[in-house]
Structure 1
Amino acid sequence: MAAGTTAAAVVMGGLPRFARAADLPPVSESDPTAKALGYVEDATKTTNAKYKAGDDCTNCQFYTGGATGRGPCQLFPGKSVNAKGWCVSHTPKKA
């Protein structure tokens, strides 16, 4: 085996595995960070005055999942949030 091939194998073996939403446990509304951010699984059920009709995780810049189900959120590393959830850190995605 050529030296370049060996080096490539070592580098390839060291690449991180990216977590999929299915691999991430769901964040609970009782999680300390979730409580601090007023996270709710259903945006329409929040009573927080900062909520604007139509806002949910799918249109927030911190959410990187799909339009339905659950997905990763940068504010909850290692956990998934509901696509239709909401928290006080909601920041509309840039166009």
Structure 2
Amino acid sequence: MTNSRRRFLKLTAGGVVGLSIGGTSLKAMAAEHVDPEDPQAKALQYVHKSTKDGQQCAGCALAQGSAGDAWRPCGIFPGKLVSSEGWCAAWAKKPG
């Protein structure tokens, strides 16, 4: 009886961890791209492709995620992804 209870607890704990990690990655995959016509994006003059020399979302301190990703999360647009080649008025050069 003790082995069955112990096994049940291990499987339950593993399932909870698996579901929480799986849910996090599903949220990241389901994130929408920022729409340049969105009121917040318009207010910040967001564009998917920067015309400003050396100023792209990939080089911004507010960009999150992994370097080299074409679309990345940004602190300015929660729950949405910005183009690594994009730009907005909140652009701030990464330190270093």
What is the TM-score of this pair, normalised by structure 1? Answer: 0.71
The runs of at least 4 consecutive aligned structure 1 residues that moved more than 6 Å come to none
Unaligned 5+ residue runs, structure 1?
45-50
Q: Which residue of 9, 27, 34 maps to 2:34?
A: 27
What SS does structure 1 have at the residue aligned with 2:68? coil
What is the TM-score of this pair, normalised by structure 2? Answer: 0.70
State whether residues 68 and 84 of structure 1, in contact with CA within 8 Å, keep that contact through their aligned partners in structure 2. no
RMSD in angstroms over aligned alpha carbons? 2.3
Aligned partner of 2:44 in structure 1 is 37
**Matched residues, percent identical?**
33
Aligned partner of 1:86 in structure 2 is 87
Aligned partner of 2:14 in structure 1 is 9
Higher strand share: 2
Q: Is 1:70 the counterpart of 2:75 in the alignment?
A: no
Give, in whole Å, the separation in 2 of the partners of 1:14 and 1:81: 25
Structure 1 residues 61-90: Cα deviation after superposition (integer angstroms, max 9, x where no partner)? 111244352221121112111110001111
Question: Number of paired residues?
Answer: 86
Higher helix share: 2
Amino acid at match of 1:77: P
What SS does structure 2 have at the residue aligned with 1:77? strand
Amino acid at match of 1:76: F
State whether residues 72 and 78 of structure 1, in contact with CA within 8 Å, keep that contact through their aligned partners in structure 2. yes
Structure 1 residues 9-59: Cα deviation after superposition (integer angstroms, max 9, x where no partner)? 364144551314xx3221111111101111111111xxxxxx5x2010000
Aligned partner of 2:55 in structure 1 is 55
